[in-house]
Amino acid sequence: MSLDARYFADLYAGSDDPWAFRTRWYERRKRELVLAALPRQCYARVFEPACGNGELSALLAERCANLLCQDIDATAVALARQRLAGISHASVEQAHLPGDWPGGQFDLIVLSEIGYYLAPTDWLQVIEQAVHSLSYDGGLLACHWRHPIAGCPQDGREVHALLADRLALYPQLRHEEADFVLEYWSCQPSVVDLDETCP
């Protein structure tokens, strides 16, 4: 069973930054690694579910022409909207995956710190939806904490094992540390960006 909205509401009731995205060096460094792992300078359309308070979202917005963010929690959505205020090409929706998957095609889907909150069956549905939503040369980036999290149906190792098993994409990058794993897959075997101008 996937975790429900109450779990996240309780977290945000105690803090507007429950994972210390804004203050921890670990989180800041991980965001920089996520950005460095993106092989293209700019993407036309990016989807980031589970955007939290929008710290990574603000950086992704600098690398794309259109950014769609989602989160299950209303407080997180409000915080992300505040963080992205003034960025006209970014929008934030309240949504619950896998049921509220958006329509259209994306050049990049970022699945960061989301998989272990979903039951394996729901995570497999997210993986399937992501693959079908990628543009012909799109990419998928996933980054997760590797250790078990109390109350979560999966840990990061299991999340990435299912990605490796079910993604019919070309693996481009894998960065693994003691605490987290970061991977990037592409619909095409090569991801060299010959046009380095932003849209």
Q: What is the mean pLDDT of residues 49-73?
A: 96
173 assigned to some structural domain? yes
What are the beta bridge partners of residue 106? Answer: 134
Segments forming the whole domain that contains residue 150: 5-186
56 assigned to some structural domain? yes
Residue 64 backbone class (left: φ over 0; alpha: ψ -120 to 50; beta: rest): beta
Number of neighbouring beta carbons within 10 Å of residue 15 = 11
In the chain, pLDDT over 70 holds for what percent of residues? 94
34 assigned to some structural domain? yes
Is it the case that residue 196 has pLDDT exceeding 80?
A: no
Query: Nearest-CA neighbor of 106 among 51, 168, 43?
Result: 43
48 assigned to some structural domain? yes
Determine which helix (DSSP H) or strand (DSSP E) holds 14, and give its type and residue range: helix 5-14
Residues with Cβ < 8 Å from 82, sequence gap 6 or more?
A: 54
Please give the model's pTM, rounded to 2 decimal places. Answer: 0.92
Digit-coded pLDDT (tens) for 90-146: 999 999 999 999 999 999 999 999 999 999 999 999 999 999 999 999 999 999 999
Q: What is the mean pLDDT of residues 19-35?
A: 89
Asked if 76 and 51 touch (Cβ cutoff 8 Å), the reply is yes
Is it the case that residue 199 has pLDDT exceeding 70?
A: no
Mean pLDDT of all residues belonging to the chain = 91
- CATH code at position 63: 3.40.50.150
Considering its fold, how many domains does the chain have in total? 1
